[in-house]
């Protein structure tokens, strides 16, 4: 069995943005411990499998190459060990990201790394992990509360801070995670009121009456299907099936990432009238099967049209349409919440959870691999009928 021993390996650049990585794997033999040399060529393609270095063009940076090597060592030896008890919080946090990042989905990767970097590393990064106390951590969390952090942000910060310190304890950098003290319990309560805003059915009709063509279709899909922006704008023409759309990619921070394998692709039911409008849109626009369903108007390099940016769509389409409709405080998340609210009034909890895809992957996503329940279809059709009731639609 491999022995856990601290090492960062060595790197040698060999051209074309590639590196030769070397490290040792320690194994017990009858004659004693033996160091087995290990070697790996690090390329941009290998890094992509671990979702490293995808947010910029060209060759990998030296820091990203080292991050990948840390992961390779961790996978090969079974554990990544910090150099000594003087390790800083940033060192352990970087190791935590390196080990966990390959398992995060596209949405989690975008949000989690930002929370750890911006809120945890920037504030606690230089502190020695073994010097952090429960009182100091509580004061840090209190500071986030005073600065107006949302409940969601506080929850993410506390969750990952606890997990990072758990890793430090596992690596014997600290004797005990201070956030799991029996005498001090980390508490937090956001002062920022949690938004529960959603559109009434009348507001849905009014908003849709101000739109036409592509944007009328997109907003209907947000309201009726409850898709996340990164999912809807990553749809390709061949993702549209007979009565459903397939969700298997996400468009985040300018990058297309797979949310799941082809075998576990999620099919979301599209009710009849919405499917008719979707088919009409596809027939009126030219494109190959692999082309984006809703391409942006600007070309990027030789790769052709890119998907629509959700930030651009929110600012250039949704906000002006909301102003014309006299609707305040509208964003893309509000549209998803609108679907969850009205769908939930026409379906049971299980079907609503399935439609919104909130559930644990082993239940809802696995359930969707087989079929779309008739009860989900029935609720989706009922919601569509309510939205279209007396609606002034411009095509």
Lowest mean pLDDT: which of 78-82, 232-236, 366-370?
Answer: 366-370
The more confident residue out of 188 and 21 is 21
List pLDDT tens digits, range 13-37.
998 889 999 988 887 778 777 888 9
pLDDT for the residue numbered 358: 63
Q: What is the 3-state secondary structure (H, E, C) of 103-147?
A: HCCHHHHHHHHHHHHHHHHHHHCCCEHHHCCHHHHHHHHHHHHHC
List pLDDT tens digits, range 248-268.
888 877 788 776 444 345 889
* Model confidence at 389: pLDDT above 60: yes
* Cα distance between residue 306 and residue 300, in whole Å: 7
pLDDT for the residue numbered 271: 93
* Cα distance between residue 235 and residue 232, in whole Å: 6
- The radius of gyration of the chain's CA atoms, rounded to the nearest angstrom, is 25
pLDDT for the residue numbered 1: 41
Q: φ and ψ at 267, to 5 degrees?
A: -100, 125
pLDDT for the residue numbered 372: 62
pTM: 0.56
pLDDT for the residue numbered 276: 95
CB neighbours (10 Å) of residue 224? 27
Q: Give me the chain's average pLDDT, please.
A: 82
* Structure tokens given for 255: 């990058």
């Amino acid at each position: 069995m491999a022995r856990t021993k601290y090492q960062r390996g060595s790197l040698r650049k060999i051209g074309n943005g590639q590196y030769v990585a070397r490290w040792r794997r320690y194994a017990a033999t009858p004659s004693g411990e033996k160091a087995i040399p290990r070697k790996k060529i690090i390329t941009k393609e290998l890094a992509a499998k671990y979702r490293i270095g995808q947010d910029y063009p060209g060759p990998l940076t030296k820091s990203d190459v080292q991050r990948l090597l840390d992961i390779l060592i961790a996978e090969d030896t079974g554990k990544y060990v910090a150099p000594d008890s003087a390790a800083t919080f940033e060192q352990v946090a970087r190791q935590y990201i390196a080990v966990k990042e390959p398992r995060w989905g596209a949405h989690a990767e975008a949000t989690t790394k930002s929370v750890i970097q911006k809120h945890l590393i920037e504030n606690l990064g230089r502190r020695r992990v073994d010097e952090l106390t429960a009182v100091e951590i509580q004061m840090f969390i209190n500071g986030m509360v005073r600065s107006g952090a949302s409940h969601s942000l506080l929850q993410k910060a506390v969750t990952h801070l606890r997990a990072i310190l758990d890793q430090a304890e596992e690596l014997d950098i600290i004797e005990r995670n201070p956030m799991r003290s029996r005498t001090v319990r980390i508490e937090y309560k956001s002062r920022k009121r949690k938004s529960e805003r959603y559109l009434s059915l009348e507001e849905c009709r009014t908003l849709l009456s101000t739109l036409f063509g592509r944007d009328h279709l997109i907003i209907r899909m947000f309201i009726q299907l409850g898709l996340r922006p990164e999912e809807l704008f990553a749809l390709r023409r061949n993702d549209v099936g007979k009565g459903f759309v397939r969700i298997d990619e996400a468009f985040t921070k300018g990058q297309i990432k797979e949310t799941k394998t082809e075998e576990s692709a999620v099919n979301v039911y599209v009710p009849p009238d919405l499917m008719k409008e979707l088919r009409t849109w596809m027939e009126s626009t030219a494109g190959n099967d692999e082309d984006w369903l809703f391409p942006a108007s600007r070309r990027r390099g030789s790769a052709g049209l890119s998907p629509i940016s959700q930030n651009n769509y929110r600012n250039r389409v949704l906000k002006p349409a909301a102003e014309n409709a006299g609707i305040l405080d509208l964003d893309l998340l509000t549209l998803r919440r609108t679907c969850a609210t009205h769908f939930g009034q026409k379906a049971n909890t299980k079907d609503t959870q399935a439609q919104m895809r909130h559930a644990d992957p082993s239940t809802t996503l696995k359930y969707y691999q087989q079929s779309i329940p008739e009860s989900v279809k029935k609720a989706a059709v009922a919601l569509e009928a309510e939205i279209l009731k007396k609606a002034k639609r411009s095509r």
